[in-house]
């Protein structure tokens, strides 16, 4: 049985700076709020009909451990008859949750499920608690840079010297400006689920907007930032995503089930692929994963009308655009800005990409296909190609 897989809806929490906005909030409670918010705004979904809950986290210990897919769904009030599991593919955790659920739906095992992710980088700093096998360095990797994401970005600059720091800074500035414009027009807030937060100094409050954006950013300020990963390097805090906390959740269903239940359809999953590259140039991963996803879909890059590319580093996006002959400032790319402005809470970020693409589809019925793509630590990339349910040829 081969069935079409659709995105019914997706939401996320506001993203915070690591250990700031959510310093007094547990990771599983952030995830619970995303799950509840998703179901609250989809009253046509009967939670009893859910076949599974797949939740990703890159660090699966403490408040992100104990099989967060099951524990968070129970805390969110999802019936205990609905199972759940956790997933880890680092930055592409939520993307892998979506594709894993999609595979089960496509073969007829599931009809409706939740896929999402959470990362509290304040509680769980990147690399916290890991114990890399020494053989990674002795036998598999060229350099310890492969274990430091900022260093892999510097190596990507080395590989493509024409992708200069100036271009990276200009791209970063554009991300901040697009995010500020999207906020001014109310385009981001509509998919944010408010979260109760607590500060030792300020007491209780409610998070309603992303904390990281810097709308007043200037190119002069970006040029002046230090390069922490290499003396006289090119990667800075201004042209890279920060360390962040947040969660996202999506409803994935078969098209048949969604239509029978009168549920909205925001995007149709057309194909997906994951691919590997040298760990030292981790950020190049979206190039081969996109080539693979396009091939499986029988499409060309020219068929893609909207791109949502995770901005782990500006150089990573520029390398992708450069490979496919797309201009740095192509208006089809990241309509509402990206992770350089709003943040990248690792395993949750793919949901943000899906939200933005789905909203882009609504605004652009002339676009038939779009994609979401991201780089992944230890040298991987992931890409999903989506079809626009609002597509109308000739518009």
Catalytic residues: 91, 344, 375
**Beta strand residue intervals within the chain, DSSP E:** 5-12, 16-17, 52-56, 84-87, 112-120, 195-199, 203-207, 244-254, 267-276, 304-309, 369-376, 380-387
Non-local (6+) Cβ contacts of 103 within 8 A are none
Rg from Cα positions in the chain: 20
In the numeric block, which tokens belong to residue 110?
């599931």
DSSP alpha helix (H) spans, 111-162 = 134-135, 149-159
**Beta strand residue intervals within 149-262, DSSP E:** 195-199, 203-207, 244-254
Q: Is 53 helix (H, G, I), strand (E, B) or coil?
A: strand
Which helix (H) or strand (E) element contains residue 295?
Answer: helix 286-297
Non-local (6+) Cβ contacts of 124 within 8 A are 27, 58, 59, 61, 62, 64
As a 3-state breakdown, the chain gives helix, strand, coil percent values, each rounded to 5, of 40, 20, 40
Query: What does the CA dihedral 26, 89, 379, 317 come to, rounded to 10 degrees?
Result: -70
**Beta strand residue intervals within 156-303, DSSP E:** 195-199, 203-207, 244-254, 267-276
């Amino acid at each position: 049985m081969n069935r079409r897989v659709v995105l019914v809806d997706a939401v996320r929490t506001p993203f915070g700076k690591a250990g700031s906005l959510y310093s007094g909030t547990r990771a599983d409670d952030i995830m619970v709020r995303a799950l509840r918010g998703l179901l609250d705004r989809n009253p046509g979904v009967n939670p009893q009909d859910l076949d599974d809950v797949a939740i990703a986290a890159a660090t699966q210990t403490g408040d992100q451990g104990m099989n967060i897919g099951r524990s968070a769904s129970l805390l969110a009030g999802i019936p205990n008859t609905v199972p759940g599991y956790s997933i880890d593919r680092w930055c592409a955790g939520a993307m892998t949750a979506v594709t894993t659920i999609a595979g089960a739906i496509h073969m007829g095992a599931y009809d409706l499920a939740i896929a999402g992710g959470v990362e509290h980088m304040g509680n769980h700093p990147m690399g916290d608690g890991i114990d890399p096998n020494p053989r990674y360095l002795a036998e598999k990797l060229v350099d310890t840079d492969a274990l430091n994401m900022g260093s892999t970005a510097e190596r990507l600059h080395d590989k493509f010297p024409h992708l200069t720091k100036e271009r990276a800074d200009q791209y970063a500035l554009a991300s901040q400006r697009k995010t500020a414009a999207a906020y001014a027009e109310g385009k981001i807030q509509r998919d944010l689920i408010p979260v109760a937060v607590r500060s030792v100094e300020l007491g209780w409050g409610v998070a309603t907007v992303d904390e990281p954006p810097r709308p007043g950013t200037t190119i002069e300020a970006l040029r002046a930032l230090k390069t922490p990963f290499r003396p006289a390097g090119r990667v800075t805090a201004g042209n890279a995503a920060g360390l962040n906390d947040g969660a996202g959740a999506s409803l994935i269903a078969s098209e048949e089930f969604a239509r029978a239940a009168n549920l909205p359809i925001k995007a149709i999953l057309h194909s997906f692929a994951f691919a590997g590259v040298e760990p030292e140039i981790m950020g190049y991963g979206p190039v081969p994963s996109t080539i693979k996803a396009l091939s499986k879909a029988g499409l060309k890059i020219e068929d893609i009308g909207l791109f949502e590319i995770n901005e782990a580093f500006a150089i990573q996006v520029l390398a992708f655009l450069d490979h496919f002959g797309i201009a740095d400032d192509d208006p089809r790319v990241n309509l509402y800005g990206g992770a350089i402005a709003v943040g990248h809470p690792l395993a949750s970020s793919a949901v943000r990409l899906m939200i933005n693409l789905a909203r882009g589809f609504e605004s652009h019925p002339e676009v038939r296909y779009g994609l979401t793509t991201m780089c992944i630590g230890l040298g991987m990339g992931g890409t999903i190609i989506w079809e626009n349910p609002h597509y109308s040829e000739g518009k």
